[in-house]
Amino acid sequence: MEKLQSLTKVLLLEDDPTISLLYSGLLQKQGMEVTSFAEIKSALEYIESNPFLSESVILTDLQLPDGNGLEFVREIRKINKSIPIIVITSTEDPKSIIEVMKEHVQEYIIKPVIPAELLSRIKYQLSNKDKEYQYSEYEKQKIISLEKLLDWYSYKNHSLKKGEFNTQDMHKNLFYGLRTSLAQGAGFGILTQIIDIIKVMPKAENGNFILDSEVLNLLEENAIYAKKVLDRFTEIEEVIFDRIPAVQTNPVQVLKELNSVKSEMSPIFLLKNQSFVMGEIDTKNFESKPILWNQKYFHNVFYELLLNAMRFSASSSKIYSLFQSNKDGLVISIVNSLSEDFQMRDGIPNEYLELVFEPFFRLHKNIYEKHGSLDFGIGLSFVRQTLQKFGGTISAFNIFDHTNSNKEPKIEFRIFLPYSSSEK
């Protein structure tokens, strides 16, 4: 079996000395550096003395002499949200496994452990990450996403200049990003693990599995999530292949649709005690010229933009909508502050202002479960593709609020919808 990189470091928490030696020997033969502990307390003391947590992966048992491995996992997640955690357990209790899965562990293995399987699981978790786990969650995601997209832009621009643009390579790039995204987080990624849980559940006399209600609920939740993902990809396909009927409306109807979305999303604004400030729609100040649109798709565009603003802005903050009409078209701006979690005092770095509209690009890797976000990095890409289909544009800008003693960075997403003389 091919050895892992010698820089791979493992933190092992296992109280059985024989099993600990077995795991350590197995991993060391693969060129890995193993730091072993038998108790949660000593492992946490080591981690606290090494705040940057240079380990590449963590292996932990669940049954430990001084506590439950689940609590150890929770403590690790307070320190590092992204380091791969592989749980090794002798329990086949679905409820216990579900509790562990809720803490975003990457893998669980039921004893007895097959050496080849353990190595395979570790190699899978490290295959696309290498040393990035030693960075903070934000830094890691920023580096991975930016490098992939800049490589893609470099290839794309070079090929266009030479007239050698290869559609097949484009599809390879996109589907690589798609595969990576679908394998992470909720939905498709967890559905595969739920199937593993079901396989170890008790069976009835006729051989059918007896599903625990909690497992069934988890399965249903992730199936619903997966369906939402597929629905969004269907919408994007409809846009790309120009299957959306376009009709004429006027600026007032477009703004009323935005106001309708605002009302629909009121419960989501309450999650972080946020508010949406939108001016009164004065029909006298707007041109009566027609704008091409599709009400359903514009509804989804506004929904995605407001959801994006809520996720990334601070609690108790205000999100603003500004709009104006000129001789060429309607301009709509969505403006929100940036949460302190992002530590971006000068706003989004300029090199990201265009990248945020690219598929699979994310400034942050958190899963926003309560917001109902798909978190695949396709929302803003869908927004841009849809607006462009109707002749519109969208751009992102850093702006700064100087009304307080300290300037506050805000993000503006500015939509331009041109007036149209005829239907498409």
In a domain, 209, yes or no: yes
Q: Which amino acid, residue 134?
A: Q
Report the percent of the chain where pLDDT is more than 90. Answer: 25
Asked if residue 240 is part of any domain, the answer here is no
187 plus 307 within the same structural domain: no
Which residue from 34, 7, 8 is spatially nearest to 23, judged by alpha carbons?
34
**Conformation bin of residue 378: beta by default, left when phi > 0, alpha when psi is -120 to 50:** alpha
Residue in the structure block whose two tokens are 């150890």: 72
Domain hosting 24: range is 9-133
pLDDT in tens, 378-417: 788 889 989 999 999 999 998 877 666 677 788 899 999 9
**Inside any domain, residue 4:** no
Query: Quick one: 289 and 340 in the same domain?
Result: yes
pLDDT at 295 > cutoff 90: yes
CATH number at residue 123: 3.40.50.2300
CA-closest candidate to residue 124, choices 77, 34, 193? 193
Looking at the fold, whether 261 and 400 belong to one and the same domain comes out as yes
Q: Are 368 and 401 in a shared domain?
A: yes
Into how many domains does the chain fold? 3
Residues 47, 99, single domain; the answer is: yes
| Omega prior to 112 cis, within 30 of 0 | yes
- The pLDDT, as a whole number, for residue 80 is 78
Residues 6+ apart with CB under 8 A from 308: 379, 380, 413
Whether residues 272 and 212 fall in one domain: no
Domain final residue pick, 113, 133, 153? 133
Is residue 35 over pLDDT 80?
yes
Residues 203 and 256 in one domain: no
More confident residue, 41 or 104: 41
Strands 85-89 and 57-61: parallel
The token duo for 213 is: 């209600």
**CATH code for the domain of 290:** 3.30.565.10
Q: Is 182 inside a domain boundary?
A: yes
SS3 (DSSP) at 108: strand
Do 97 and 29 share a structural domain? yes
Q: Are residues 177 and 111 in the same domain?
A: no
Taking the alpha carbons at both ends of the chain, their separation in whole angstroms is 59
Which of 75, 109, 133 is where one domain is finished? 133
CB 155 within 8 A of CB 184: no
DSSP letter at 205 equals T
- pLDDT tens per residue across span 55-98: 789 999 988 888 888 889 998 888 877 788 999 887 766 667 77
| 383 φ, ψ (degrees, to nearest 5) | -60, -50
Q: Are residues 267 and 408 in the same domain?
A: yes
pLDDT in tens, 104-117: 788 888 887 888 88
Judge if 186 and 254 occupy the same domain.
no
67 residue type, one letter = G
The pLDDT value recorded for residue 156 is 54
Is residue 74 in a domain?
yes
User: 237 in a domain, yes or no?
Assistant: no
End-of-domain residue from the set 171, 199, 227? 227
The answer to whether position 3 is within a domain reads: no
Same domain, 73 and 205: no
